[in-house]
Amino acid sequence: MKKSILLMLATLVASGCSSDGNCLNEQQLLNQYFVLSAVDGNPVEQRAGIRPGISFAPGLRVSGVMCNRFFGQGQLEQGRLTVPQLATTRMRCHDGELNQWEQLLGQVLTAGASVTLQQQTLTLNGAGHTLVYRVEQNAEKN
C-alpha cells in the first residue's frame, strides 16, 4: 500500500503537477496563442495594431509580444514555469501600460510563476503579480 502511494506521488511530481493537483504539461500549451486579458485583476483593453500575448513551441520555447517581442527557453516543473534567460527586442514603446506589463512579465517569467490552464484560460502567478491570458482560436500573432 505504501509503495503504491509513493509511486503515485512520484508520478504526479514527474508529470509537472503542483501541490494543488493541477497537472499541466507542455502538450497542453502547444499550438495555441494566448492573448493577455487581465493584469493583477484589471482587464486589458484591446489596442490597435498589437495583441499582447504568449505562445509555446515544442521544447517549451516561449515567445510573444507586449510592446516588444520576447523569447526564451522555458522550463515547466511541478506546475511552475520559468524562463531564466528571457530575451526581448528593445524598441521604444509609446504605450505606458504595455511598457509596465512588459517589465512585469519579464519579472514573472525569470523568477518563475505558478501556471494553470483551465477552460481556455492561462494564469501566471509570480513575483507578486497575476497575468491572465485567454486562448484565441485562429489568432494571428504579431
CATH of the domain at 80: 2.40.128.270
Q: What is the pLDDT, as a whole number, of residue 5?
A: 42
Q: Taking all residues of the chain, what is their mean pLDDT, rounded to a whole number? A: 85
Q: Is the pLDDT of residue 1 over 70?
A: no
Phi, psi of 137 (to 5 degrees): -70, 140
Asked if residue 103 is part of any domain, the answer here is yes
Residues 38-70 have pLDDT tens digits of 999 999 998 878 899 999 999 999 999 998 999
pLDDT at 116 over 60: yes
* Count of the separate structural domains present in the chain: 1
Instruction: Give Rg (Cα) of the chain.
Output: 16
Residue 80 lies in a domain: yes
**15 occurs within a structural domain:** yes
Report yes or no: 39 and 131 within 8 Å, Cβ to Cβ.
yes
Q: Is residue 108 part of a domain?
A: yes
Give domain status of residue 105, yes or no: yes
Q: What's the pLDDT band for 122 if we cut at 50, 70, 90?
A: very high
Residue at 131: amino acid letter: L
Domain around 62: 2-135
* Domain membership flag for residue 89: yes
More confident residue, 137 or 64: 64
